[in-house]
Chain A
Amino acid sequence: MAVSRLASSTSTLCKLLLRPLSAPPFYRSFSAAAAGDDQTVLTIETSVPFTGHKIDPPSRSVEATPKELLSFFRDMAVMRRMEIAADSLYKSKLIRGFCHLYDGQEAVAVGMEAAITKRDSIITAYRDHCIFLGRGGNLVEAFSELMGRRTGCSKGKGGSMHFYKKEAGFYGGHGIVGAQVPLGCGLAFAQKYSKDETVTFALYGDGAANQGQLFEALNISALWDLPVILVCENNHCECCEDFGVESEGNDRRKEWLMEMKIGSGCGADQVDGMDVLAVKQACKFAKEHVLKNGPIILEMDTYRYHGHSMSDPGSTYRTRDEITGVRQERDPIERVRKLILTHEIASASELKDIEKEIRKKVDEAIAQAKESPMPDPSELFADVYVKGYGVEAFGADRKEVKGVLP
C-alpha cells in the first residue's frame, strides 16, 4: 500500500527506480559466526514490503541459511559474468543474430529457483540465458548455443532466444513477444490434470503486458483455476521505449498495468525484483496460492543494465545516471554481498575469490564452446517434422529427388 502511494505521488520515473535501502537490512540473526553453518537460519527483512492486490501479501521476513545466501551470490555472479562475456563475444562477432542480456535482473531467476523444484515448469521470453542457467543448464551448453554450435542446448539451431532444457522443466526461450504466456497456461493445465502438485511460472515483460493474448490466457486460467503464476519482469522499458518518459500518463499507466492485469479477478503481488529474498518469498507464496486458488500475477520490479538487445545502446530512452544510480543502490549481487558481509558469513576477500573463480570458469567454458563444431548441414532439414517423416529435397532444377532427409 505504502509503495503504490509512493509510486503515484512521485513525478519522475527516476525516483521510483532509485528506492534505496534507506537503512541496512533489518535482521535478527541467531548466530554471529555463521559461515558454512547449515543449522543457522537467518531472518532477513526484504527491502520493501509486498503490495498485494486481492490477496494477503506474504510476510516481509524471509528465512535464509548462510549456505543459501552464498549460493545466491555465486549463482548470480555466474549469471552476471556470463552475460558480460556474451556481450564481448557478440561484439567480436562470435555470436550472431540477436542477443538479449539479462544482467541486472538476476535476482528474479535465482530467487524463483530457490522457491521451487525442477518439476515445476518455467517458460519465458527471449531474455532467457540466466533462467536456463538457473534451471541447471551449464555454461558450455549456453555459450555453444549462443555461437550456434553442435553442443548447444538446442543443438545450435535455436540461438540466443531459444534455450530449452526438458529435464528441468524449462520450456524456453520464445521470440514472439507474449506468445509464451498462453503456452505457459497450457502447461499449467496439463499439470492440473496430472495432479502432481507442480506449477508453471510464465514470465513475460512489461512490453508483453500489452499483448491481447496475455489477457485471453489469464482469463481462461482464472476461469479454470489453473496453477499458473504469471510473472511480469517489469524493467520499465518496452523494447526501446520507456513509456514513463514518453507519455504524460506515466503514473496513471503504472496503476492501469496492475489493474488491467487483475481485471479478470485473480490476485496479484508486487515484488522488488532486485531483492533475491523478496523474490524467493513471493514465489514460494505464489506456488502455495495457485495450487489452491488459481492463477496469480507477480510483478517483479526489476531493471536491466544493457539495452533491449545488443543493437540497442540502452541510453536513448534513459539517462546514464539512472543506470549507474540503480547499479549503486539496487544491484542484486551487491545486496547479497552486503548481507553476507554483515552477517559475517564470508569475508570480502573470500567473495572476491569466488568471483575470480567464476570468471575463470566462464572463460574455460567459452574456450570449450569455441572448439565445438558447427552442426552438420543435414541438421538443416532435421526436426521439421518428427523423425522419419521425410522432407524431400530436390536438386537445383527441381526434377531429381536428391534424397529424403530425416
Chain B
Amino acid sequence: MALRGLGRRISIGKRCFSSASEVEKPPRDGKPINLFSAINQALHIALETDPRAYVFGEDVGFGGVFRCTTGLTDRFGRNRVFNTPLCEQGIAGFAIGLAAMGNRAIAEIQFADYIYPAFDQIVNEAAKFRYRSGNQFNCGGLTIRSPYGAVGHGGHYHSQSPEAFFCHVPGLKVVIPRSPQQAKGLLLACIRDPNPVVFFEPKWLYRLAVEEVPEHDYMLPLSQAEVTRQGSDITLVGWGAQLSVLEHACDEAAKDGISCELIDLRTLIPWDKETVEASVRKTGRLLVSHEAPVTGGFGAEISASIAECCFLRHGLQLEAPVARICGLDTPFPLVYEPFYMPTKNKVLDAIKTTVNY
C-alpha cells in the first residue's frame, strides 16, 4: 500500500522483482480470451522475461488439467516446465528451496483442495523464511497457483475455498483475480513480487469468463482493491468468481432504487483496508460475500476491521451491522451445492435488509 504513493517507474526487464505499477487500468485493446488462456499468456511472458523462472506441478507438461500451461513445455523445454510426482508437500518444499536460491518457482497445486499436505511447508517454511533468517534468506520468488472454488459439480474435494487459512499467516500474500484481464496482470505481479504468494484461480471462470486481454506484458498492483462500480447506499466486497454474483445482485438492487458500490479486494492479505474504509464511510453499510464457509472466513476479518474503524466517528458511522453472505458451515456438499452457495438472491435479500435496517 505504501508503494502506491511512490509511483516509481518499473522496468519490466529480466529478473526484476517488483510489482508496483503505475498503470492501474491497462488499455482495453487485445483479443477476447478466457481465464485459462490469460493465465497461459502470463506464464509465457513470465518465463520469457526471466530465464530462471520455472513452472512445475502435476500434469503441467501436457498443458495441465485446465489447459493453463499449454505450449510452455514446447517453448521452454522440459528443464523449465516439468511434471512433478503426486506429492504436494514435496512440490511446495521443492519450490521453496528453488526460490531460496534466487529462482522464480511457479508451482501449481492441481486443486486447492489438495493444498493441505503442503500447508506445513507454506506456513512454516515459506512464510517465515525471511523473518527467521533476519533477511539473509527469502523465498520471494515463490508463487503457488491453484484452481479454487465451486465449479457446479465439484463436490467435497474439487470445490473448496481455502483462502482463509492462508490469510491467517503473516509473511504470505494471497491474491485472487476476478476475470481474465485481471488474472494476467495480477499473476505477473505475483510472480515478480519479492514475497511468497499464493494465487488462487476461480476454476469456474476458466472457460466461462471471456474478456479482452491485452497481449503485452502488464502488471496490476497488489494490495490494491478496485472499486468496480460506484454507489452510495451500500458497499459490497468480494473476490474471485463471487464478483459476478455480486454484480448481478447490484443490478437487481438498482431496480429497487438501491445504489450499490462494489469492491473487488483482489489481494486478500495484505488487504487494502483504506479503499474499503473510504467506501464504507461514504455509504455507511457493508456486505461481504465469499464462497468459503461463513465462520472464520475472511469476511470475518473484514467485518471486524471495518466495525472497529467505522463504528461511530465524526457523524459518519455504520448504519447497520456488517452483513456476511457466505457458504454455509458444512463441508462443501455434493448434491446440495445450490443451497450451500451464496447466491444472488441471498445477497439481494441481505442488501435489502441492510439498507432498510
Contact = CB atoms under 8 A, between A and B. Distances in A.
B122 to A, nearest CB: 15
Nearest to B324: A398
Contacts of A210: 85-87, 90
Contact of A246 (B65, B83, B114, B158): B83
Contacts of B156: 162, 175
Contacts of A97: 153-155, 158, 334
A239 interface: yes
Contacts of A197: none
Contacts of A381: 328, 330
Contacts of A240: 59, 62, 65
A384 B114 contact: no
A224 B76 CA distance: 48
Interface string A359-398: 0000000000000001101011100100000010100111
Given A177-B114, A240-B59, A240-B65, A396 B157 contact: no
Interface stretch (A9-17, A59-67, A151-159): A151-159
Given A148-B335, A212-B90, A241-B83, A380 B328 contact: yes
B259 interface: no
Contacts of A319: none
B35 interface: no
A161 B330 contact: no
Nearest to B110: A239
B297 interface: no
Nearest to B356: A397
A207 interface: yes
B336 A396 contact: no
B59 A158 contact: no
Contacts of A176: 113-114, 116, 157
Contacts of A208: 86
A246 B85 contact: no
Which one of A207, A311, A374, A396 has the highest number of Cβ atoms from chain B below 10 Å of its Cβ? A396
Interface in A155-169: 156-159, 161-162
Report whether over half of chain B's contact residues are helix, strand or loop; otherwise say mixed.
loop
A393 B295 CA distance: 12
B110 to A, nearest CB: 8
Nearest to B84: A210
A355 interface: no
Which one of B113, B154, B335 has the highest number of Cβ atoms from chain A below 10 Å of its Cβ? B335
Contacts of B89: 212
A156 B331 CA distance: 14
B333 A380 contact: yes
Given A239-B86, A396-B353, A377 B336 contact: yes
Contacts of A399: 321, 353
A375 to B, nearest CB: 7
Interface in B148-162: 153-158
A384 B158 CA distance: 19
Contact of A156 (B158, B328, B335): B335
Given A148-B334, A159-B334, A238-B86, A98 B155 contact: yes
A356 interface: no
Interface in B98-141: 113-114, 116-117
Interface residues of B, number: 40
A94 to B, nearest CB: 12
Contacts of A162: 156
Contacts of A88: none
Report whether over half of chain A's contact residues are helix, strand or loop; otherwise say mixed.
loop
B329 A391 contact: yes
A380 B155 contact: no
A285 interface: no
Interface in A197-254: 207-208, 210-213, 238-241, 243, 246
Contacts of B158: 97-98, 175
B61 interface: yes
B165 to A, nearest CB: 16
B354 interface: yes
A156 B62 CA distance: 35
A212 B83 contact: no
Which one of A162, A241, A243, A317 has the highest number of Cβ atoms from chain B below 10 Å of its Cβ? A241
B85 A380 contact: no
A397 B323 CA distance: 7
B271 interface: no
A162 to B, nearest CB: 8
Contact of A397 (B58, B59, B90, B350): B350
Interface in B311-353: 321, 323-325, 328-331, 333-336, 339-340, 346, 349-350, 353
B285 to A, nearest CB: 12
B330 A384 contact: yes
A157 B334 contact: yes
A116 B249 CA distance: 58
A158 B158 CA distance: 13
Contacts of A161: 155, 157
A241 B350 contact: no
Interface in B59-82: 59, 61-62, 65
B62 A317 contact: yes
Which one of B86, B321, B323 has the highest number of Cβ atoms from chain A below 10 Å of its Cβ? B86
B154 to A, nearest CB: 7
Nearest to B65: A240
Which one of B61, B116, B324 has the highest number of Cβ atoms from chain A below 10 Å of its Cβ? B61
Given A246-B61, A396-B353, A212 B346 contact: no
B346 A396 contact: yes
Contact of A384 (B83, B87, B329): B329
A29 interface: no
Contacts of A396: 325, 346, 349-350, 353
Given A97-B334, A98-B158, A207 B329 contact: no
Interface string A289-318: 000000000000000000000010000110
Nearest to A247: B83
14 contacts: A97-B334, A98-B153, A156-B335, A157-B333, A175-B155, A207-B86, A210-B90, A243-B83, A380-B328, A384-B330, A391-B329, A391-B330, A397-B350, A398-B323
Interface of B: 58-59, 61-62, 65, 83, 85-87, 89-90, 113-114, 116-117, 153-158, 321, 323-325, 328-331, 333-336, 339-340, 346, 349-350, 353-354
Given A97-B153, A380-B330, 16 more contacts: A97-B158, A98-B155, A157-B333, A159-B335, A162-B156, A175-B156, A175-B158, A176-B116, A208-B86, A212-B90, A213-B117, A240-B65, A241-B61, A380-B328, A381-B330, A397-B349
When A and B form their complex, which 3 residue pairs have the shortest distance between CB atoms, in order from nearest? Answer: A210-B85, A175-B157, A396-B349
